């Protein structure tokens, strides 16, 4: 398991939403999420990181926003869902090679770190940053 504790600045994200999911590699690898990533790539010709942001609601469910990060709310395309993720403390996970699938690799590390009490999840926003199809970082909100 390889992770580091980081302070992540706040950010504005805009994109396409899927309601009521449970954060995991199964969601990250789902056909629906891949479809939404492809839609965003199709309309944006730049090679910038895609984010998958898991956002909790008051009932304890999560919604996932497949998105790009934007400088401010006015930069988000009309019609996209917009969220602001506050500055926070996160455990940053990167693939360590234990699994062939990158998303499964980082989410398995989160499960291991949580089960061994190395981290205590805060169950706030959690963010996957995809820097291309072969590079992912997963930021899990933690209590300190």
> pLDDT at position 94, please?
97
pLDDT of 1 above 80: no
Domain locations along the chain: 3-141
Domain with residues 3-141, CATH architecture: Alpha-Beta Barrel (3.20)
| pLDDT (mean) for 20-28 | 93
pLDDT at 104: 96
- For residue 46, what pLDDT is reported? 76
Q: Lowest-pLDDT range, 4-18, 44-58, 61-75, 91-105?
A: 44-58
Give the pLDDT band (50/70/90) at residue 45.
Answer: confident
Quick one: which of 139, 136, 109 has its CA closest to 122?
139
Mean pLDDT of 104-108: 97
């Amino acid at each position: 398991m390889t992770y580091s504790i980081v302070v992540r600045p706040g950010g504005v994200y805009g994109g396409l939403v899927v309601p009521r999911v449970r954060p995991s590699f199964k969601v990250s690898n789902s056909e629906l999420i891949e479809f939404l990533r492809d839609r965003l790539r199709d309309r944006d010709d730049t090679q910038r990181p895609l984010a998958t942001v898991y956002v909790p609601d008051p009932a304890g469910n999560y919604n996932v926003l497949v998105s790009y990060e934007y400088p401010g709310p006015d930069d988000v395309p009309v019609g996209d869902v917009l969220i602001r993720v506050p500055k926070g403390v996160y455990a940053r996970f990167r693939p360590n090679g234990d699994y062939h699938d990158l998303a499964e690799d980082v989410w398995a590390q989160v499960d291991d770190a949580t089960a061994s009490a190395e981290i205590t999840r805060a169950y706030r926003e959690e963010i996957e940053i995809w820097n291309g199809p072969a590079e992912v970082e997963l930021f899990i909100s933690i209590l300190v």
